[in-house]
Structure 1
Amino acid sequence: MVDVAALANVSYQTVSRVLNGHPSVRPSTRLAVLGAVEQLGYRPSNAARTLVTGRSRTLGVLVLDIADSEGLTPLYGIEHSARELGYFVGIGAVDAIDRTSVQATVGRLAEQSIAGLLVIAPVDATQDALASVPPHLPVVAIEGDPGGSVTTVGVDQAAGARAAVEHLLSLGHETVFHVRGPSEWMQSQDRMAGWRAALEAVGADTPMPLAGDWTAESGYEAGQVLARIPELTAVFAGNDQMALGLMLALSERGISVPGDVSVVGYDDGADAPYYNPPLTTVRQDFRAVGRRAVELLVSRVEESDSETEHVLLDAEFVARKSTADARALVSRAAVDSKTLHR
């Protein structure tokens, strides 16, 4: 900082005021300081800034250590947005969501003097575990419980699932089977609720959902069961990875997607357009979720009287090549039957 002050021909205190956004600095002086910072490649020490200002510029992020990498994609939006707002990010991972694990991880993050906490752990136990967080620490949960006392940001999972099922019904499928995610995940619960609501709205049968765990392997196992159901024509998988495993299981039984069965996934991961066939799915903008979560958390850090909010972002249905008109299946089956009986 001394070098920056010397190059800009100002005092050490003036450099500090510019870097901390103090309003009582002339525009010409501010430009000179920022030019010196850029020229020297200076990066202020977060620890030093905390000592001087009494305010931390670090946001803690608590994440559940999960195999589904898509679920961690909000981290990209979090890091980018935090940097734009002048904050650093410290990450703490937990293997399980319970009070002991959360307390230990928050304790480790507290050693970095965090100003607030973001939580990416969308499971039922999170709300109870967050009761162990010190009351003075602002918290925002991504895909948290919208009925709880913690501010949350998420995607409208139920609406996204309903759009997926309505698409399949519009193609003439009489009902839609479902491979759900883990029962303790709030996203899984909301997607299943959207699936059920779409079927009930048109009086369609609601088959028993098959349990998965977000992995392609669990989708494959569900696909082996579904392949034995003669009336199967459409499946809504709780995420893209389970849809991938499902389609492999159907293919091994000689069942074509979408020739015999239409499949829709959820997430629109980076590889979804490259499935065979390209996967029809529901896109959720993870980065937008991360950005909005940071904005809300920073507002709570800097305005301690902020009220609890529950923000839902829209999901987007993405039609590709893994779904087809069920009426074409009926016509083709009739032609095949006539051919066999000639």
Structure 2
Amino acid sequence: MRDVAELAGVSGQTVSRVANNMGNVAERTRRRVELAMEELGYRPNNAARALRRGEFRSIAVVAFGLETLGNVRTVSAIANEAARRSYAVELISVQHTPDELGTADFSWAMRRLGQDAVDGIILILETSKSATAALQIPPGVPAVIVDAGAAFEHPSVDANQEQGARLAVDHLLALGHPTVWHIGGPAVSNAAAARAKAWRSRLEEAGRMIPDVVIGDWTPESGYSAGLELAARGGVTAVFAANDQMALGALRAFHESGVAVPAAVSVVGFDDMEESAHFWPPLTTVRQYFETAGATAVSLLVDQIEHREVPAGRRLIDTSLVVRASTGPFGEHSDS
């Protein structure tokens, strides 16, 4: 800093103000200091600044797997919002859910974070509530949970899964379909359980027959297998898939089975992944606002880090229905 001050012809205090992006520096002077920094290759010592201030401007994101669209989109949104707020992000991917490996992987992640310089944690869970009950976040560490029904005494953020599922079912019933079949996600998923529960509840309220759920694993391959099974049963005129990728597999299965979409069967997905508008036919789906969820999670965490009061409890992000060509009215072309 002394070298920069000498080259720029300013005081060390002025260099410090520029390095820390503080005010009270004339623009011409700021630019002269920045040019001196570039010429000398000066970089602020973030570790020293962190020790002096007691903060690191860094947050950790712990995700139980990055295979699903929702987790990837959420991590991307978190990184974008953190960067906007001048926070760095450390990403730790835990490969096994608590159901599969107990708390071992999570404990490893927490030990690692204890050695790293982070101010808080965003934990992305896609696993059942019972499996997360034993997971312990170190006391006093600012934290936010992302996913449905997480069993923690921390603020949490999630899409309104129940609302989205009801939008899908209501849309299909409004088109005149006698009932709605469901391709569900894996049993360990909070989101899948919430969507299936809302699907069932809405059919019960409408007094409709409740079919057996065909379980998938979020992949197009599982949706394809489910679609073949539903096509072989006959009488299936409306299907709500718990995500767009399984809906894609189901669309292929119906096509190969000679079941026209939407003339014979209507299909609705969940997520509104970018490719959904380019399926054939383009997919009617429930849109999740991953960007809003990620930004909200960062906002809640930064408020805690900066010692603002943040009440515990869930923050639900509304969903919406995007109607495209994969759904149509129940009618004479249906094979029921």
Q: Same fold (TM over 0.5)?
A: yes
Counterpart mapping for 1:50-69 below 5 A: 50-69=50-69
Structure-2 change in CA distance of 1:38 and 1:284 (3 Å): farther
Tell me, in whole angstroms, the C-alpha distance in 2 between the residues paired with 1:170 and 1:308: 38
Structure 2 length as normaliser, TM-score? Answer: 0.89
Residue of 204, 213, 226 corresponding to 1:200: 204
Residue 72 of structure 1: aligned partner = 72
Alignment correspondent of 1:340: none
8 Å contact from structure 2 (residues 175, 330) kept in 1: yes
Map 1:221-260 to 2 at 5 A: 221-260=225-264
Pairing of 1:144-159 with structure 2 (within 5 A): 144-145=148-149, 148-159=152-163
Map 1:132-147; keep pairs closer than 5 Å. 133-145=137-149
The TM-score normalised by the length of structure 1 is: 0.87
> What is the identity, as a one-letter code, of the residue corresponding to 2:194?
D
SS in 2 for 1:152: strand
**Aligned residue-pair number:** 328
| Superposition deviation, residue 6 in structure 1 | 5.1
Change (3 A) 1:80 1:220: same
Q: What aligned pairs does 1:1-342 form with structure 2 within 5 A after superposition?
A: 1=1, 5=5, 9-17=9-17, 19-20=19-20, 25-26=23-24, 28-29=25-26, 32-33=29-30, 36-37=33-34, 44-98=44-98, 99-124=103-128, 127-131=132-136, 133-145=137-149, 148-303=152-307, 305-329=309-333
Q: Extract structure 1 runs of 4+ deviating beyond 3 A.
A: 1-22, 28-46
Judge conservation of contact 1:5–1:33 (CA < 8 Å) in 2.
no
Aligned pair in 2 of structure 1 residues 180, 39: CA closer, same or farther (>3 Å)? Answer: farther
User: Structure 1's 29 and 136: CA in aligned 2 closer, same or farther, altered over 3 A?
Assistant: farther
Quick one: distance in 2 between partners of 1:181 and 1:256?
A: 24
- Once the two structures are TM-superposed, the CA of residue 142 in structure 1 deviates from its matched residue by 1.0
Report the Cα offset of residue 240 of structure 1.
0.4
Q: Offset at 1:126?
A: 5.9
- Following TM superposition, by how much is the alpha carbon of 1:328 offset from its aligned partner in structure 2, in angstroms? 4.8
Amino acid at match of 1:180: G
1:127–1:145 CA contact under 8 A, matched in 2: no
Measure the CA separation in 2 of the matches of 1:202 and 1:67.
36
Question: Are the aligned partners of 1:72 and 1:120 in contact in 2 as well (CA < 8 Å)?
Answer: no
**Which 5+ residue runs of structure 2 have no aligned equivalent?**
none
Per the TM alignment, residue 305 of structure 1 is displaced from its structure 2 partner at its CA by 4.7
The amino acid that maps onto 1:156 is N
Amino acid at match of 1:174: P
How large is the RMSD of aligned CA atoms in angstroms?
2.5
Contact kept? 2:15, 2:33, Cα under 8 Å: no
Q: Secondary structure at the match of 1:227?
A: helix
Report the CA distance between 1:44 and its aligned residue: 3.9
1:265 is paired with a residue whose SS is strand
State the distance in 2 between where 1:39 and 1:207 align: 71
Contact 2:133 2:152 in 1 (8 A): no
Deviation at 1:145, TM superposition (A): 2.1
The answer to whether the 8 Å contact 1:160/1:316 transfers is yes
Give the CA deviation at 1:163.
0.2
Greater mean alpha carbon deviation, residues 137-146 or residues 206-215: 137-146
> What is the rounded CA distance, in whole Å, between the counterparts of 1:269 and 1:38 in structure 2?
44
Contact 1:5–1:15 (CA under 8 A) maintained in structure 2: yes
Q: 1:107 to 1:147 in 2, by over 3 A?
A: closer
Distance in 1, Cα, partners of 2:16 & 2:131 = 39
C-alpha separation in 1, matches of 2:316 and 2:262: 32
The percentage of counterpart residues that share the same residue type is 38
Cα distance between partner residues in 1 of 2:174 and 2:208: 12
Using the TM superposition, give the Cα deviation of residue 316 of structure 1 relative to its aligned residue in structure 2, in angstroms. 1.3
TM-superposed CA distance for 1:221, in Å, is 1.0
Matched-pair contact (CA < 8 Å) for 1:18–1:30: no
Shift of 1:79: 1.0
Could you tell me how far 1:318 is from its partner in structure 2? 0.4
SS in 1 for 2:253: helix
C-alpha distance in 1 between matches for 2:31 and 2:114: 31
